[in-house]
Every structure is written in C-alpha cells, then in structure tokens.
Amino acid sequence: MGYTIAEKILLAHTELKSIEPGEFIEARVDLALGNDITAPIAIEEFKKAGFTKVFDKNKVVLVPDHFAPAKDLRSANQCKLLANFAKEQSIKNYFEIGCMGVEHALLPEVGLTLPGDLIIGADSHTCTYGALGCYSTGIGSTDLARAYVDGKIWLKVPASVKFIYTGKLNKWVGGKDLILYTIGKIGVDGALYKVMEFTGPVIRSLSMDDRFSMSNMAIEAGGRAGIIEPDEITKKFVSQFKRKGKFYKSDSDAVYEKTYVWDVSKLEPQVACPHLPSNVKGVSELKDIKLDQVVIGSCTNGRISDLRIAAKILKGKKIKFGLKLIVIPATQKIYLQCVKEGLAEIFVRAGGVFETPSCGPCLGGHMGILAEGEVALATTNRNFIGRMGSPKSFVYLSNPAVAAASAITGKITHPDKI
C-alpha cells in the first residue's frame, strides 16, 4: 500500500518504518511558530516547567502580528513578552513591527517554509504552507511549549481526502473561489481532522498566491492540512532560497478516505454569506447586499497579486460615499511593492486607507472593528458571529476582485459590472 504526500512527510520525521491513519506518532518539527496571542502562553508554560533553553534558536519563529502595532496596553505587554523571550533565547526569526507581516504570508516570503517540511504553529491557519508541499498544521500553545523543549510533537496521523479540479477557470475566479466552493460543497466539518489534498489540472495551473489562499482555508472545512503536490511552479518559487526542501508526491496506490472530482469551468466568483464560510453562493445570486465596510488583506488575500487585482478595478474610480475601504498588505515587502507600483496611491485616491501589515480587523482585533448592525465584505477567511466586531454585525467573504468592485458600488457586485 502506498502513501500520500502527508503520510510520507510525517513518516520522514519519525524513527518509524511505517505509519497509518489513526496512529499516534512522535515527530520532529522543522519549525515552531507562535504569535503575540499564542506564544506568550507557550513561553509561560515553558518557563513554568523549569526549562531555560529552546531546542533550536533557528527553528523557533515569533511574529507579533495579531494586535501589532500594539492597540492597547495589554497587547503591548504581549508583544514585549515575545521581544524579551527572543532576546533571552537569541532567536533569529523574531519579526518586530517594521519587518514583520501577517505570519502566514511572511514565512513563505522569507523562505522559512519549504517542501517536505513538518511545520507546527499555534495558529489555526498554519495550514497555509501546505501549498508548498509541506505538512503544516495548527496546534495549541501547550503543544508549542513542548516543542520548544525538544523540537518534537505528538500527532495523530490523519486520513487524506483528495479534491480534483478539472476544466478552465473563468475571469475573476481564483484560489479563493475554489476553496469557498469546496467548503460550500462539503461543509465546515467536511474534512474534520483530515488532510485535504488539492490536485488536478486547475490546481497545476494556479499561481503560488492562489495556492496559498486555498491551503489557508483548509481549516475552515475542519482540515488538519491543505496540501498541494510541489511542481515546477513550486520549484520556481523556492529557487530564490538557499534551501530548496524535498519534493514528495502521493503514490498511485495511496489510500484516500474520499475523492471529489469537480469541473469548475462554469464557476463564478464565490461569496460566503453570514455566518459560516460554508454558506456560499455565486456572486450573481446576491442582490442589493449593501455594505458599510470592505476589507482587502489578511493571510488569505493580502499578497501582491491580490492587491494588483483590486487596484486594477479601483484605478481612476471612487468608492461609494459613506463606505469604508481598508486595504492591508500582508507584509512589509508587499507594502513597499504597492508603493513602488503606485497601488497604494490608487487605494488612497479611491477613498480608502492603506494600512501597515497586521491581522487587524480579520479577527476583530483593531484597524476596522465592526459596530452593531454594520455589514462588511472581506477577503479574510472567517465570518462567524462577532468575528470582526459586534456579534450583531455581518461579514461576507470574497476574492479581492469582488471586494474592490463592491467598494465602488457600495453593495456586493460582480467585477464585470464595473
């Protein structure tokens, strides 16, 4: 019996000769990530247990991105705790404001997540890196504390589900739409504790940015990981880094719990309606959904290609009077590229604001919290009740093209209508 990509990676990080779904394994990690919300708990537990030195200062990553720049005293103290620990441990990969970004866009950008790696992060969207053909998954803060000690973690080997996408994508349709469509089909628990393996001709034609968007939202279907087989596009992406990683692919006789095959040739841009990422409809099905705010950014769609798409639609136009447009590039590198290409100016001239990299409003943190009754369209990944502010607010999710078009009209709009 053959192995899936996920099983091969997990096996390679153990001393075992074989593994199977459902088995508990102790595995070595290549990277242990924490942010300003989750890492302080891990650091506290690490010290409480009497440990004084992390297993490898080069494999621990700290990114204060959720409430940074600090929005209040409490968040300032959280960020300071990370800074102090990074200094105490001589941690190389600590990213302060000015060089930080939204963690799941930043780490691939600097070459810390590579094919074949086993990566854990105390953040559920750590599954993003599976787009590169690595096994990356979210864990709890206490698991992160244990990894700080010896670089290992206990994991249950998940079963894999294969998703095959055929056909050819229409204009304005990309990775965000594919994953929203998928979640809409299987539900928020449709891949519960499973590896989602995305494949097929449509996936092989996707850019890395679109692949990151897909893998990022595997957790929204309950998935432990969202993996794409590395190929020439992956190879080109990692060629800029000294370490290239190891390319794995699933065996022809690998066992999958289930396989889905969808022809997405007729797929239009998708929108997740309140209050679940699985409450998905085609954009043309939504009529007169008036908006108070549009957010373009996050670890799902804050990359340079996303912002280029939004700027192309917004160029020379004004957003609807009374609407708030918030644009947040995912990293400082993307921020500077937006300035260089004139994208930042387009957003501001259109009537929007161009913010420093941060998770910001995505989790109801800061820089765009929703008031009671307000309706937002966001390129983020979750629209649960109260996710972006008041429990009496409403959040819709879309790709950047729909978000930009909707900012102009003030209601959810197909980009072709602009």
Whether the per-residue pLDDT at 85 is higher than 90: the answer is yes
How does pLDDT run across 2-34, given as a tens digit for each residue?
999 999 999 999 999 999 999 999 999 999 999
pLDDT at position 1, please? 77
Strand boundaries in 181-310, DSSP class E:
194-199, 225-228, 258-263, 270-272, 280-282, 293-297
Half-sphere exposure of 193 (CA within 13 A, CB side): 7
- Domains for the chain: give ranges and CATH numbers: 5-262 (3.30.499.10), 270-417 (3.30.499.10)
The residue type found at 116 is G
How does pLDDT run across 350-387, given as a tens digit for each residue?
999 999 999 999 999 999 999 999 999 999 999 999 99
Region for residue 10 given its phi and psi (left: phi exceeds 0; alpha: psi -120 to 50; beta: otherwise): alpha
For residue 74, name the pLDDT band (cuts at 50, 70, 90).
very high
How does pLDDT run across 120-164, given as a tens digit for each residue?
999 999 999 999 999 999 999 999 999 999 999 999 999 999 999
pLDDT at position 41, please? 97
Whether the per-residue pLDDT at 221 is higher than 80: the answer is yes
Q: How far apart are CA 359 and CA 363, in angstroms?
A: 7
